[in-house]
Amino acid sequence: MTDTAAVDAAGLVKTFGRLRAVDGVDLHVRQGEIFGVLGPNGAGKTTALRMLATLLPIDAGQARVFGVDVNREPHRVRQLIGITGQYASVDEDLTATENLWMFGRLQGLRSADARAAAKRLLAQFDLEEAADKPIAQFSGGMRRRLDLAASLITRPPLIFLDEPTTGLDPRTRGQMWDTIRSPVTESCTVLLTTQYLDEADQLAGRIAVIDRGRKVAEGTPDELKASVGNSTLQVQLAEGADQELARQIVRRIAGAEPVLTPGSGRMNVPLDTADRAADVLIGFRQSGVAITSVSVAKPTLDDVFFAITGHGADTEDDPNPAGTGASEAGAGHETVLEVQ
């Protein structure tokens, strides 16, 4: 039984009207790992996660959680999972202690045990001072931590984290990462969704990249980043500059294929190390290629998307006719779909 996958999903499909929000996704999450599902807004990652967590019916394909069929035995699956949502799934009108006590009781803990579990979790999550405050007075970071604590009351073997740090400021984000990596979740398998490559990089052992309802890549963070280099040089070529010459220089010096946005003269160059940026720029000056601006950045999700799909993470034009304008909705369209 120890080799049963924590999550084994094949050909998952979810359709909303004419839109295939999840279009045949396979996921295989091994026991004990932190697995990241990475993709832009509206890619279908939250929808996929909600199907696995029994919150949405699966239209086609099948999914098993520790060997238990999600569609056929959702009640059993619910006893094996904890879910922490994109929006705080704790009760605003109750205090932190009351929330944890209630969720413990609802899962069959006796009153005293639920109280003890609440106390233990509040200590582990550094929320003791706020134990008796209503959640309405909590900061965003505290809310997410409480939310995660609520998922861990009965120590389920599988935890779903849906965009655990979206909307948090950078410092609070770091704290949330520490919490997710800390011993409190160590014995659980974690499946998390995120829009941030650095978050997936920080937390996940393996990553699946989702785009327009399909899985477009899967691998370790290092493998994914290797496909785009360790940093990206962004150059704005001056008007009239020889774009073909610039491309050749990049190929020769950086040994990589640049991504050129033809109309605007913007060029993205994947680099093994940031040091190579200087070599490329010197090459440009020696050959008389004029530039107007330059920056060196860590690869973003956008770069990974360019590399894997050939289009950006939030591209406007939609080459896929099945999308029927869905990508135009851009940010938040996934959320809109779920209220319907």
Partner 1 sequence: MSTMTADPASVGSAPLRTVDPAAAVAGTRPRTTTTETVSQTLIMAWRALKKMRRNPEQFFDVTLQPLLFTAMFAYIFGGAISGNVHSYLPLLIPGIVAQTVLTTCMSTGVQLREDMEKGVFDRFKALPMARIAPLAGPMVADLVRYLIAAGLTFVMGVIIGYRPAGGVLGVLGAIVLAMFTGWALAWIFTFIGSIAKSARAVQGMSFLFLFPLTFLSNAFVRVTTLPGWLQAFVKVNPVSHLVSATRALANQGVVTSEAGWTLLAGLVVIAIFAPLSVRSYRRHM
Among 37, 41, 66, 280, binds partner 1 (CB under 8 A): 66
Q: Of the candidates 107, 115, 45, 31, which has an alpha carbon nearest to the alpha carbon of residue 75?
A: 107
Collect all residues with Cβ–Cβ distance below 8 Å to 275 and sequence separation of at least 6: none
Q: Which of 181, 214, 247, 266 binds partner 1 (CB under 8 A)?
A: 181
- Do residues 153 and 103 touch, judged by C-beta distance below 8 A? yes
Using CB under 8 A, which of 59, 62, 69, 89 touches partner 1?
89
Handedness of CA 229, 231, 236, 237 (dihedral sign): negative
Q: Name the residue among 20, 10, 67 with its Cα closest to residue 42.
A: 20
Please pick, from the candidates 11, 16, 69, 105, the single residue that binds partner 1 as defined by CB under 8 A.
105
Could you give the CA distance from residue 195 to residue 38 in angstroms, rounded to a whole number? 6
Figure out which of the listed residues 32, 219, 283, 323 binds partner 1, where binding follows CB under 8 A. Answer: 32
Answer yes or no whether residue 173 interacts with partner 1 by CB under 8 A. Answer: no
Residue closer to partner 1 (CB basis): 13 or 55 = 55
- The span from the CA of 326 to the CA of 21, in Å, is 9
Q: Is 157 in the site for partner 1 (CB under 8 A)?
A: yes
Q: Which is nearer to partner 1, 120 or 333 (CB)?
A: 120
Contact status: 103 vs partner 1 (CB under 8 A): yes
Report the residue number, 174 or 205, with the smaller CB distance to partner 1. 205
The verdict on 108 binding partner 1 (CB under 8 A) reads yes
Binding residues with partner 1: total (CB under 8 A)? 55
Stretch that binds partner 1, among 17-25, 187-195, 257-265, 301-309 (CB under 8 A): 187-195
Closest to 167 measured CA to CA, from 98, 85, 239: 85
Which one, 148 or 289, has the nearer CB to partner 1? 148
**Minimum distance from CB of 9 to partner 1 (Å)?**
16
Q: Distance of CA 216 to CAs 16, 26, 210, 253, 305, Å?
A: 21, 11, 6, 29, 9
Q: Which is nearer to partner 1, 81 or 277 (CB)?
A: 81
Sole binder of partner 1 in the list 18, 93, 286, 316 (CB under 8 A): 93
Q: Does 78 bind partner 1 (CB under 8 A)?
A: yes
**Least distance in Å: CB of 40 to partner 1?**
22
We find the least distance from the C-beta atom of residue 99 to partner 1, in angstroms, to be 8
Q: Which stretch binds partner 1 (CB under 8 A): 47-55, 264-272, 308-316, 323-331?
A: 47-55
Query: How is residue 40 written in tokens?
Result: 């832009």
Distance CA 90, CA 95 (A): 10
> Under 8 Å CB-to-CB from 129, ≥6 apart: which residues?
none
73 lines the binding site for partner 1 (CB under 8 A): yes
Axis crossing angle, helix 276-286 with helix 243-254, rounded to the nearest 10: 140
Residue 34 within binding range of partner 1, rule CB under 8 A:
yes
Cβ atoms of residues 121 and 103 within 8 Å: no
Q: How many CB atoms sit inside 10 A of residue 49's CB?
A: 25
155 binds partner 1 per the rule CB under 8 A: yes
Contact 43, 308 (CB under 8 A): no
68 binds partner 1 (CB under 8 A): yes
Q: How far is the CB of 274 from partner 1 (least distance, A)?
A: 27
Q: Is the dihedral of CA 40, 304, 10, 204 positive or negative?
A: negative
* Contacts with partner 1, residue ranges (CB under 8 A): 1-2, 4, 6, 30-34, 53-57, 66-68, 73, 75-76, 78-81, 83, 85, 87-94, 98, 102-103, 105-108, 134, 150, 155-158, 181, 183, 186-189, 205-206
